[in-house]
């Protein structure tokens, strides 16, 4: 299955992935209106310190602790894609407690959200990948030859 991979070698720390993620999942077609003057809650987040930066989003684990630990059944895995049914979430934060990557977080309304590879919004392909200016975020099969990296 195709996954998102990040390269800290190429990451500029520009945070564009965060903005495009928030926009892609905003339901709006106007980026300025969707993001201006508000605190954004993107599903991908850049960690940075001392010249090192890299983006982190859901790894869509093969053994997803979040899905297995979810107390409501809101998180599920199908064909390797892990999604959340926000309607069934009660914000207990068990997924926050168990995700080893720290990639499930509260959305604007307090219920949990996570990267769903933009397959459930209108973009249809990961916006963070599409708009990364330096190809530091890529979306590909895990068994691609090293030359592609």
- Cβ atoms within 10 Å, residue 115: 24
Among 34, 40, 65, 81, binds other proteins (CB under 8 A): 65
Distance spanning both ends of the chain, measured CA to CA: 17
* 33 interacts with other proteins by CB under 8 A: no
Among 12, 90, 108, 133, binds other proteins (CB under 8 A): 90
- Please, are residues 120 and 127 in contact by the beta-carbon 8 Å criterion? no
Burial of 105 (0-12, 13-18, 19+ CB in 10 A): middle
Per-residue DSSP letter, 49: E
Among 1, 12, 69, 108, binds other proteins (CB under 8 A): 69
Least distance between other proteins and beta carbon 96 (Å): 6
Q: State the residues that interact with other proteins by CB under 8 A.
A: 5-8, 47-49, 52, 54, 56, 59, 65, 68-69, 71-73, 87-88, 90-102, 104-105, 110, 138, 140, 142-146, 148-149
């Amino acid at each position: 299955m195709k996954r998102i991979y990040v390269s800290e070698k190429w990451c500029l720390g520009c945070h564009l992935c965060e903005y495009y993620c928030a926009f892609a999942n905003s339901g709006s077609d106007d980026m300025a209106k969707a993001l201006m003057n508000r605190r954004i809650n993107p599903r991908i987040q850049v960690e940075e310190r001392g010249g090192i930066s890299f983006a982190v989003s859901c790894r869509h684990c093969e053994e997803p602790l979040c899905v297995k630990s979810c107390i409501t059944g809101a998180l599920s895995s199908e064909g390797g894609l892990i999604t959340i049914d926000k309607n069934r979430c009660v914000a207990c934060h068990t997924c926050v407690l168990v995700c080893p990557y720290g990639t499930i977080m509260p959305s604007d309304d307090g219920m949990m959200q996570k990267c769903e590879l933009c397959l459930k919004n209108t973009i249809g392909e990961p916006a963070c990948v599409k708009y990364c200016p330096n190809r530091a975020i890529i979306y590909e099969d895990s068994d691609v030859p090293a030359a592609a990296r």
